[in-house]
Amino acid sequence: MSDGSFTTTAVAAATTADWVDPRAMLRDPFDTYDRLREQGSVVWVPALERYLVTGFAACRAVEADQATFSADVGGGGATMARALGAKPMLRKDDPEHAVERAPINPGLRAKSIRASWGPRFERNAQIHLDVLRERGPKQAELNRDYAAPVAARNLVDVLGFREATPEQMQRWSHAFIAGIGNLADDPEIWARCDDAQREVDEHLDVLLPHLLRHPDTSMTSALANAGIPAAAVRANVKLTISGGMNEPQHMITNMVWALSRHPEQRDRVLADPSLWPVAFDEALRWLSPIGMYPRETTRATVLDGVELPRGATLGVVIAAANRDPAAFEAPRALRHRPLAAGAPGVRKRRSPLPRTLGRPHRCWRDRRTTGLRGSARSPDRHSSRRGVVRLGVQGPHRPPGHLGAVLTRRGRALRAGPETPRGRSQSEAGWVHPARSRRPS
């Protein structure tokens, strides 16, 4: 059977994972992901009322076939449209998705980012590097004092919300994210989400007419002047507020946390700053800021040998796929470049903004924070859906390679790392060049 999706010669109904405990997944989902993959790459989970796709090849097949696996989901998967007030581009397939995505693409290319946003991002980072230093080793906390406010300030600038504060941006983003994940239909979450919608719309009521008369380089201006419906402009601005705040915020903390707890990898990337892009991609694989997204089948199909009916709701669990041993050697180890979630040949229909904002800033090389390290004075706290949400720091501490040293150096060119220690393979020693990563056949 072949209909454009990933198929095998053996076809069977999906197995049922009635043992899945959503509460356990909130604490730590990776043991559940491993067990689900062992049961099958596509499994029906009654507790979540959807099929979970956890295998790398199966996730890749879903992402490559939007004709069969649509982003235009209904039912319990339609919370995004409810949270944002209308359906954004992330819940549309091509050509509709491409029409709404096209206006923002030019402004988010590397050259445009360097020209328009680079100086502002550096300024914002410097402001909060000063905050970290002023708070000192007893009070400094990376997420609260750096990652969240920097992401919020950057987003204010990118969207051109001149009258909004970083604190407002954080509150709106958290409300939208909570609404998008509100599968339990909690009325208190919807109330906060509705308040955020109203406040953002009040800003847009003033901003959009101004941008039509006086266009600028902001993403809001690009959308406003693209000739797309006003409801789509507003929904996509709110979409950017949700992901454009949370994803870069958590990638900053995830990456610092991961390298702080893998000193060998940390030391390698500090010794060879050109490995920073590989380190970022590996952190993205190892602890994905977006763990799962929904899709809905447009017709009966077969995915990795599993029959799926028309209208089936899928949870595409890229956090599980990025730890699939069929695609990655020693997938629980922090050392390989990822192949999913943005790799060549995998089309992620998402805004490029979170990836742009989440990369380490050039001004993290600031010597005032050299030597900061993870603190034992308070436990780290995590969100199973996003990553590290609290990370205390201490410093200065002179031996290089602690948390602050991670904040201080940034490379540009992507190349293989330094020669590996004698008697060890390159993959055992540390980061590997993308060309040497394993791909499924």
- For 74-122, the pLDDT digits (tens) are 876 688 999 999 999 999 999 999 999 999 999 878 788 888 888 888 8
Angle subtended at Cα 47 by Cα 45 and Cα 51, rounded to the nearest 5 degrees: 25
Residue whose entry in the numeric block shows the structure tokens 């970083």: 166
Q: Which is more confident, 159 or 359?
A: 159
Q: How confident is the model at residue 388 (pLDDT cuts 50, 70, 90)?
A: low
* Residue pLDDT, tens place only, 14-56: 999 999 998 888 888 999 999 999 999 999 999 999 999 999 9
Q: At what angle do helices 148-159 and 166-180 cross, to 10 degrees?
A: 100
Q: Is 240 helix (H, G, I), strand (E, B) or coil?
A: helix
Rounded distance between C-alpha atoms, residue 260 and residue 411, angstroms: 18
Q: What is the pTM of this model?
A: 0.75
**How far is the CA of 175 from the CAs of 54, 107, 241, 358, in angstroms?**
28, 27, 10, 20
* DSSP state, residue 342: S
Sheet strands side by side (includes 15-16): 15-16, 42-45, 50-53, 313-316, 293-297, 69-70
Can you tell me the mean pLDDT for 397-410?
28
Q: Is 206 helix (H, G, I), strand (E, B) or coil?
A: helix
- pLDDT of 397 > 50? The answer is no
Task: Tell me the CATH number for domain 12-436.
Answer: 1.10.630.10
Rounded distance between C-alpha atoms, residue 416 and residue 287, angstroms: 22
Please choose, from the candidates 111, 102, 98, 116, the residue with its C-alpha nearest in 3D space to the C-alpha of residue 159.
116
Strand partners, 308: 301
Give 33: exposed, middle or buried? Use CB within 10 Å, 0-12, 13-18, 19+.
buried
Phi-psi region of 95 (alpha: psi -120 to 50; beta: other; left: phi over 0): alpha
Q: How confident is the model at residue 376 (pLDDT cuts 50, 70, 90)?
A: very low
- The residues, ordered by sequence, that sit 6+ positions from 142 with a Cβ below 8 Å of its Cβ are 132, 252, 253, 256, 391, 392, 393, 403
Identify residue 228 by its one-letter amino acid code. Answer: I
* DSSP state, residue 16: E
Q: How confident is the model at residue 243 (pLDDT cuts 50, 70, 90)?
A: confident
Rounded distance between C-alpha atoms, residue 368 and residue 366, angstroms: 6
Rounded distance between C-alpha atoms, residue 290 and residue 201, angstroms: 26
pLDDT at 207: 97
* Token output for 96: 């509709």
Pairing of strands 313-316, 50-53: parallel
Q: Which is more confident, 374 or 339?
A: 374
- The residues, ordered by sequence, that sit 6+ positions from 83 with a Cβ below 8 Å of its Cβ are 176, 178, 179, 180, 182, 193, 238, 242
**Maximum average pLDDT range among 1-5, 59-63, 72-76:** 59-63
* Token output for 220: 């809001």
